[in-house]
Amino acid sequence: MQRENNPSLSSAASPRVRHRKRSNEAIPEPSKANGGKLLVDDRNKYKSMWIRTYSTVWMIGGFALIVYMGHLYITAMVVVIQIYMAKELFNLLRKAHEDRHLPGFRLLNWHFFVTAMLFVYGRLLSQPLVNTITSDKFLYQFVCSLIKYHMAICYFSYIAGFIWFILTLKKKMYKYQFGQYAWTHMILIVVFTQSSFTVANIFEGIFWFLLPASLIIINDIFAYIFGFFFGRTPLIKLSPKKTWEGFIGASVTTIISAFV
């Protein structure tokens, strides 16, 4: 009775009721410009294909030039790729708030990275490097001295990094610091284990580097082409545009090209 006799109360309550009804309604997703997640349904797929083709030609041309220049240049390319891989992985578990309280702590990751690089490539490149600089006597003696004391230099460099880590420990930050320490060593194991095999293959013969690298390139290109024209079945949720048709087509093409 009181609500019927008081129109102001009923008018004040009605917006709340309407607001509750709106909150329970399902909000439709905005329509996608490409008409779907799959590449075959993308309206701009031909424009995207032209951009990818243009960039692919430039990358393959640059790769062929580096291969033509020889072993040391290919190794330098692998090292540059390693540096970018390590940078991305270092930043993966980085927390800016904690790093503000630990000035210089981020440099410790790169200290261990350089030490690992010195250890791995010092063992792999010692003989090729000596053979390359035999014409310069001073540089030849310097490199021979580094090779002679290579293990001692790497050992003391790692110990210096460990002492640096101990000296930077702070209360209430132990969990984060030890987590970063373990994460850094896992990155070094993953990055340098595979890359050391790659570099070793380069100096056993460039063919043994070109074969797996070319198969990866062929697999990637044909996965895109088969997915572009025939892809209808999504492969994984992590990458919605990858399809089973592209995966199977690229696998068959890669096997055939490996024999060729």
Domain boundaries defined on the chain: 45-203, 205-259
pLDDT at position 231, please?
82
Q: Residue 224: what residue type? A: Y
**pLDDT score of 130:** 61
Q: Which residues of the chain have pLDDT under 70?
A: 1-43, 127-138, 140
Question: In 3D, which of 15, 45, 14 has the Cα closest to residue 231?
Answer: 45
pLDDT at position 39:
65
Of 178, 213, 182, 256, give the one whose Cα is nearest residue 74. 213
pLDDT at 55: 87
pLDDT at 198: 87
Cα–Cα distance list, 142 to 76, 130, 134, 146 (Å)? 21, 10, 11, 6
Query: With contact defined as beta carbons under 8 Å apart, do 40 and 229 qualify?
Result: yes
Predicted local distance difference test score (pLDDT) of residue 31? 41
Coarse DSSP helix, strand, coil percentages of the chain, rounded to the nearest 5 percent:
80, 0, 20
Q: How confident is the model at residue 23, as a pLDDT?
A: 45
State the pTM of this model. Answer: 0.66
Cα separation, 142 vs 211, whole angstroms: 36
How long, in residues, is the chain?
260
